[in-house]
Structure 1
Amino acid sequence: MSEHASDDNQQQQYARHHEQGLARRLSLWRDAQLARQALRDAGDPGLVLDLPSGSGRFWPVLAERANRVILAADRCSDMLDIAEAQSPAKVRKRIRTFQSSALSINLSANSVDCIFCMRLFHHVADSEERKAILQEFYRVTRDTAIVALWVDGNIKAWRRKRQEAYRRSVGGAPAVRNRFVVCRTEIESEFIEAGFRMVGHRDFLPGYAMWRVYVLRKTVD
């Protein structure tokens, strides 16, 4: 099997993973609810950049506002193709896609009302990389950013930390190598350093789950 074919399979598996099982469907419902609430908290923006868009799972939510203009970007063009292929035609025609990295967005300064970033920061362990992404968000948005990630200060984060400590003590590998829990005070300081103030946040399950969605507003000197 070619490397390209292998990548295609991985991307299709990623898309299917988020649609399987009752628990997963309930999780998707809650994710969509959080996204709607965050968009309202951000002032119901009219021009939104979904980055990275991944499988396009939030496109139907973004398209619920009839006059919203939606840009969608991902560093992987094949993922954009998959997202477009599996989206309903009435949603797909509302989306303008382009290939781009979050570290270097192919848009000019102050191009959008809001950057919608639901599936990136929990994959970024390095503080300097997070800061670089946030600085790029600050450049491109003229108003708000919606950012989701795993944070500490809840039961699941405490359990995960304890399990990881046990695995290290017995010489085992981490359970999940590409997802990371961030200290809340650390990430919130990074938001401020990048030039944002926090409008608010919403938790997937307050006090229990790690998933938190922040709404940030750009500050202008």
Structure 2
Amino acid sequence: MSAQPPSTVELELEFARQHAREHARACLAPCPDSLARRLALAREKQWVRQALKLAGEPGLVLDLPCGAGRFWPLLAERGNRVILAADPSQEMLDHCAVHHGDDVLMRVRTFQSSVFTIGLPENAVDCIFCMQLFQYVSDSRHRMAMLREFHRVSRDTVILSLCMDGKVMAWRHRRLAQAASQEVPRILFDKAQVEGEFREAGFEIVGHRDFLPGYALRRLYVLRKNT
């Protein structure tokens, strides 16, 4: 196996720490009950279900990095689906054990792992589900290292979340950052570049699903491993 690119461990650990802080704040905050928030959450569930359907409703899914297990209840909706979940932070995995009910936890098998060196053999799962880390990785070397490890471990598909440039919200995002004299906080991916990286890593693009087509930044890609 090739060596990890520089700073991949630091990248993962910093992401895990940041995600843990954000989730802790979310747990302490009152549950949002606005209509807009409820509609957004409903759309997100529909969006993820569409991607899973496009991936062929995989039976054995690896959620990596899983963070607080936000999507476990949705992944568990399919009764015969086996869910593996890994995260570089053992603290986050321990938090998951008290954050979710027994009905969800009994469906999920957790283990500590890096996305760059996944502790599973080749072709171990039907699908790798990555909703967290990839969209924050700015260095193409790190993205390629992730994609190649995903290619090794998945026997069929990968579902990735990222933020796309060229949308209405991308223009608004830059304008707000410019007005505040700040760097654009999100990584906005160029379609040609990121799709080229997918193909270079050995995947074909099955399709994608936008959160709000033409407007919102978020996109889910469904990739299939070339044989």
Q: Same fold (TM over 0.5)?
A: yes
In 1, Cα distance between equivalents of 2:176 and 2:21: 31
Question: For residues 33-112 of structure 1, what are the structure 2 equivalents within 5 Å?
Answer: 33-112=46-125
* Secondary structure class of the residue paired with 1:182: coil
* Secondary structure class of the residue paired with 2:215: coil
Residue in 2 that maps onto 1:20: 32
Residue in 1 that maps onto 2:201: 194
- 1:83, CA displacement in angstroms? 2.0
| TM-aligned CA distance change 1:15 to 1:134, over 3 Å | farther
For this pair of structures, how many residues does the alignment match? 209
In 2, Cα distance between equivalents of 1:156 and 1:64: 31
In 2, Cα distance between equivalents of 1:154 and 1:90: 39
In 2, Cα distance between equivalents of 1:18 and 1:140: 39
Segment of structure 1 superposing worse, 135-144 or 124-133: 124-133
Question: For residues 121-160 of structure 1, what are the structure 2 equivalents within 5 Å?
Answer: 121-160=134-173
Sequence identity (%): 52
* Secondary structure class of the residue paired with 2:74: helix
Identify the match of residue 207 of structure 1 among 214, 218, 221: 214
Partner deviation per Cα, 1:96-144 (whole Å, 9 max, x = no partner): 0011111111111110000001111221111111111011100000000
Partner deviation per Cα, 1:128-167 (whole Å, 9 max, x = no partner): 1111101110000000000010011210012222333444
Residue in 2 that maps onto 1:217: 224
Residue in 2 that maps onto 1:3: none
Q: Which amino acid aligns with 2:207?
A: G
Does the 8 Å CA contact 1:56/1:84 hold for their aligned counterparts? no
* Secondary structure class of the residue paired with 2:118: coil
Does the 8 Å CA contact 1:202/1:212 hold for their aligned counterparts? yes
Does the 8 Å CA contact 1:74/1:98 hold for their aligned counterparts? yes
| TM-aligned CA distance change 1:56 to 1:17, over 3 Å | farther
Give the TM-score normalised by the residue count of structure 1: 0.87
Identify the match of residue 113 of structure 1 among 100, 114, 126: 126
RMSD over equivalenced CA pairs, Å:
2.2
| TM-aligned CA distance change 1:8 to 1:189, over 3 Å | closer
Structure 2: segments with no counterpart, 5+ residues: 1-17
Q: Which amino acid aligns with 2:25?
A: Q
